[in-house]
Amino acid sequence: MSSAPVSSSLSNALPDLHAILGVEIGAELLEQALTHRSWAYEHPGSPHNERLEFLGDSILGQAVTVMLYTAHPDLDEGDLAKRRASLVSSVALAEVARRIGLGEHLRLGRGEELTGGRDKSSILADTVEAIIGASYISLGGDAATELVLRLIVPLLDNPERFGAAMDPKTSLQELSTRLGRGLPTYLVTDSGPDHSKRFHAIVILGSDEIAAGDGSSKKHAEMAAALEAWTLLQAGTA
């Protein structure tokens, strides 16, 4: 590991991050886990998180596999594989990252910052894996496994929302139809220059604007809006 000092912004955020994660990862390792390659490219000599991500992916898969195998002795190999695939997917990990507010702690290059990198599912998911890898190096296998379960198990506490997060537009369509609200439509607008556009989507049911969402692409904005609309309909507040 580099002996470079940890940035002051991260030092200030460490107590909050440790409280959220429930583990105290070494400061330099945690900083590396939060560092996207776009930042490292603009700051030569700074390590980025891709090696930690590689390690964390393996630890994540093993921990989830053992958890599912132990918790569901009645499921066959095919069902276990499907559940594992959904729990370790980028969508699931991005949901985890958003739940704990990880995006605000990322170290991104200017390009990613301008194009909404703090809410890109791929970047968020990769960072979760990198943090898992950092916890393994810093604290060992048992602590890393405990971190995986602490992050992943809440997805199982609300299986309907987890399913909706995997495919929010389909889930919203099914729910709105079941409730007799008709099929949703989307109104999407964009703003900003071509190289850094941001998209804003509104979900409309009948003549009512139900929810809105933003994203770095039309697809991501619609998905964000659909998940918010699904959440409101499910709660009976829209």
Task: Please list the residues that pair with 212 across neighbouring strands.
Answer: 202
**Predicted confidence (pLDDT) per residue in 159-195, tens digit:** 777 778 778 999 999 999 999 999 999 999 998 888 7
Backbone angles phi, psi at 203, to 5 degrees: -90, 130
Question: What is the pTM (predicted TM-score) of this model?
Answer: 0.76
**Predicted confidence (pLDDT) per residue in 87-143, tens digit:** 898 878 988 998 999 999 999 999 888 888 898 888 999 999 999 999 999 999 999
Q: Which two tokens stand for residue 171?
A: 């889930």
Q: Which residues are part of a known binding site?
A: 53, 126, 129
Q: Which two tokens stand for residue 184?
A: 């949703």
- 168-235 has which CATH code? 3.30.160.20
Active-site amino acid positions = 57, 129
**What is the DSSP secondary-structure string of 83-139?**
HHHHHTSHHHHHHHHHHTTGGGG-B--HHHHHTTGGG-HHHHHHHHHHHHHHHHHHH
For residue 105, give Cα distances in angstroms to 17, 54, 108.
9, 20, 9
**3-state DSSP call for residue 199?**
strand
Question: Could you give the CA distance from residue 134 to residue 144 in angstroms, rounded to a whole number?
Answer: 8
**Which residues of the chain are in CATH 3.30.160.20 domains?**
168-235
Residue whose pair of structure tokens reads 């997060």 in the numeric block: 165
**Which residues of the chain are in CATH 1.10.1520.10 domains?**
17-157
**3-state DSSP call for residue 145?**
helix
- 17-157 has which CATH code? 1.10.1520.10
Q: Which residues are part of a known binding site for Mg(2+)?
A: 53, 126, 129
